[in-house]
Structure 1
Amino acid sequence: MQQGVLYSVTRDISEQIKLEEEQQAVTNELYENEEKLRLILENLSEGVIVANSDQKIVLVNNMANEFFGIEQDDEISANIINHFEIYYPDEKTIFPSQNLPMERALKGESTDDIDIVLLDPATKEKKRILISGRPLVDQNEKVVAVVLTIKDISKYKQLEEELKETESKYRQLIGFKKGGDTVI
């Protein structure tokens, strides 16, 4: 009888050890995948913000922190109007907050490259950005989180304007009118 009990205890311990090893392997794999995701996010040239359905920040990459000028993730609000005044590219017309990608994604709508100008009220610095939003939905089609990406295109737009000015100057120098006809 003792031998049967000993075999049963040994088998139970072996099964327990095997189960613990399997759990450790799963935990290690999850950690490795999380680390890979973190490395990918930190090496993107776009800012990435993930917020839950209550607009609480879940994840922010370094580019987003740099964009907002904030180092602490929990100090960033998912609602961008808490940080900036928002305008259409004409820099005069106020952009309606209900049309921002966060608001639209919370309603289940995806947006791509919404072109807006942000004005930092404290520094009066303007940034021209493209902002996109995607809802993350569960199996019941309920929005559980939102992913925002932010691309600062200020430098590109500045270079574009400078190129237009230079082109206009050279056209005038070589005798082109505004309509594209040469002056004789």
Structure 2
Amino acid sequence: MARTARNPLLAAALALTVVAAACAAWAGWSWYAAAHDDAADFAKTRDRVLAAGTQAVQNMNTLDHRDLRRGLDTWEDSATGDLRTQLVDGRAAFEKQIQEAKTVTTAKVLSGAVTELDDRAGRASVLVAVRITVTAPKGEPARKESRMLGQLTRTDDGWKLSALGQAPVGDTADR
């Protein structure tokens, strides 16, 4: 032991080994804690909700009279609950209205955010800014930017819209 204490190279090597072991232990513990943190799972769920919500809002604001069946099928596939029931029940009347108008409506999502997420209950809310372009048979395309609020419900097929409406604009407080 006396020889180890007097050899500075051996002492430095021992000290570096202890520091390296401590760093490895800390890194391992940090990795384990991060891998088992509920926040990471919640963030993944939030990302899935945002992707599903923005896609569904885009789907619900896109429709081409030349391929009406596929467009309305996409609407129904994007929805669940009462919203889906309303779409199915009103489909025939809506088909007739769109065929007579001969319009093409496209939507582009500008931004979106999850405003509420209850993973345990399987409910979420999104706010989506969207640019909607309506092209009639004659005339220039009309563009409108809109903010929409969507309610999503988790289904066996993933997150789907259960309600959709315009977001209030301006001061909505009661006076």
Question: Fold-level match, TM-score > 0.5?
Answer: no
Normalising by structure 2, we get a TM-score of 0.31
Higher RCO (C-alpha 8 Å, min separation 6): 2
Point out the structure with the larger helix share.
2
Normalising by structure 1, we get a TM-score of 0.30
